[in-house]
Each structure stands twice: as C-alpha cells, then as structure tokens.
Amino acid sequence: MKRTISLLLDVIMLVIFASLMSWRFTGVSIHEWAATALAAILVIHLLIHWHWIETRVARLRTGSTRTRVNVILNLALFVTMGVAIASGFAISKVMFPNGLSAADYLRWHSVHETSSTLTLVILGLHVALNWDLITHGIRRAFRRRPSTVATRAPTAGILWTSKVLRPLTAITLAIALIVGLAKGLDAVMPQKKVLFVHADGTRELADPPADIAQTHPGDSEPNLKRGGAGALFKAVMLGGVAVIGRKALRIRL
C-alpha cells in the first residue's frame, strides 16, 4: 500500500510539474494553485520516504557510487525545486500578492526561471537514474499481491515522534534554509532591462514598466495557443534529458 501511494504521489507531482512548465498554458491562477499543491505533496513525499533519506545519507560515504549519485541528485532536486517554489511565491500575483516593485519583480523572476530550468534538467537525470525502479513500481502496482499478515502497530506516541514530528521538524528547517537561499540569490541578481519594440520597429532596452508585477487582462485564463508551445518544448526537453542520461551518458549505476 505504501509503495502504491508513493508511486501515485510521484505521478501526481510529475503531472503538476509538467503543467507548471508554462504559466500561459494554465493561466496565472491555476499556475499558482498548482505550485502550492506541489509544495504540499512534496512535504508528504518527504515524510513517506524519510527512512530512505536517513539511511541513504548515513551511507553516503560507504555506499555504492549509485547510492551517492542518487542522494546528490535528490538533494539537488529538492534545493532547485524549493528555490523555484519559494521564488514563485515571491512573485505571486493572485494568491500572495505582495506589491513588488518592477525591479524587485524581475530579479525574483530571474531566480524563478533559473531554478525552474535547473529543476527540469535534474528531474530528467533523476528519472534516467531510477528508470528501472519506476517501471518495476508501475508493474508491481498493477499486479495482484497476496495479503500479508497484520502486525502490531506501534503506539501513537512512538509513531508521531518517529514518523512525523522528527522528519517534519527537519523538513521545516530545510525549507527555511531554502527560503534563505532564494533571498540570497535574489540579492545578488543584477538589475534587468526590458526590450521594448516600438511601433516603428525600433528596439530599446529600458527599465521595466511599473505594472509588470500586476495581473493583466487574460493572464488568469489558460492560453493553449501561446502556452502550449512552451509547455511542449519543455516537456520534450525533460524527456530528452532523461533519454540522454539513460542512453548516451549511460547513467545506470
């Protein structure tokens, strides 16, 4: 049951992440709500796999090369995805509008775009490394398994401490560090200019318009025409990284 739930959460997170690849594809409102759902599911995912995290990190020095690479990839994925979510909240226009100036908005937006792209690449490598485990898990989820003998459950206090309280505290601290990292990256981002194309065809780099951090008509509506191409490109990019990681680079540790 736990493996089935874990696989289901992984699929849901992958689908949500795919929908987040282009905000125009879903519109700003759905984009932000989907990102919030992804953040919540990510915490649940970490809680479910906390024993795996503890055991693999403890064996980081003595474990196999595959174990070390897997732990590093998972850690990098958590950091980049965390920064992408935190910076996404910083530039929120619907759920948590915070009245950023145009310059602040563009700096945070640069952090968001960069971390999102890195997340896509690392996720592709993560899929490549764990492809056999993923396919085996899918086959096992649809295979009938014999019933198991029930075992005595631990007491509520032990369960809360070992399964929820301790890992949740560690996850909370990790999130705080991620938010601090995102703020640090925003602080060192250079000021950005915006390219304006005038009616006569001339181009000009200038300060961003004051209303760039605000919603505009049509932003909250899905736009399959404008957003579909971007989402498709990034989906192909994700698949390409996975294929290169598995085939060309031979990541089969």
| pLDDT tens, residue by residue, 3-48 | 778 888 888 998 899 889 888 889 999 999 999 999 999 999 998 8
Q: Residue 107 — very low, low, confident or very high, per pLDDT cuts 50/70/90?
A: very high
Four-point Cα dihedral 69, 70, 75, 79, nearest 10: 90
Mean pLDDT over 92-114 rounds to: 90
Q: What is the reported pLDDT for 96?
A: 87
Which tokens hold the place of 185?
């990256």
| pLDDT tens, residue by residue, 65-83 | 888 888 999 999 999 999 9
Q: What is the reported pLDDT for 1?
A: 63
Helices (H) and strands (E) in the chain, counts: 10, 2
Cβ-based neighbour number of residue 85 at 10 Å: 24
Four-point Cα dihedral 70, 75, 76, 80, nearest 10: 140
Q: What distance in Å separates the CA atoms of residue 174 and residue 79, rounded to the nearest whole number?
A: 9
Q: Residue 114 — very low, low, confident or very high, per pLDDT cuts 50/70/90?
A: very high
Q: What is the reported pLDDT for 28?
A: 92
| pLDDT tens, residue by residue, 166-224 | 888 999 999 999 999 999 999 988 877 777 777 777 887 877 787 888 888 878 888 88
Let me know if 112 is exposed, middle or buried by CB neighbors in 10 A (0-12, 13-18, 19+): buried
Instruction: Map residue 201 onto helix, strand or coil.
Output: coil
| Distance (Å) of CA 172 to CA 43, 96, 169, 181, 230 | 9, 20, 5, 14, 33
Which tokens hold the place of 142?
């649809």
Q: Which of 66, 53, 49, 60 is nearest to 9 (CA)?
A: 49
Q: What is the reported pLDDT for 40?
A: 95
Q: What is the reported pLDDT for 158?
A: 45
State yes or no: pLDDT of 86 exceeds 90.
Answer: yes
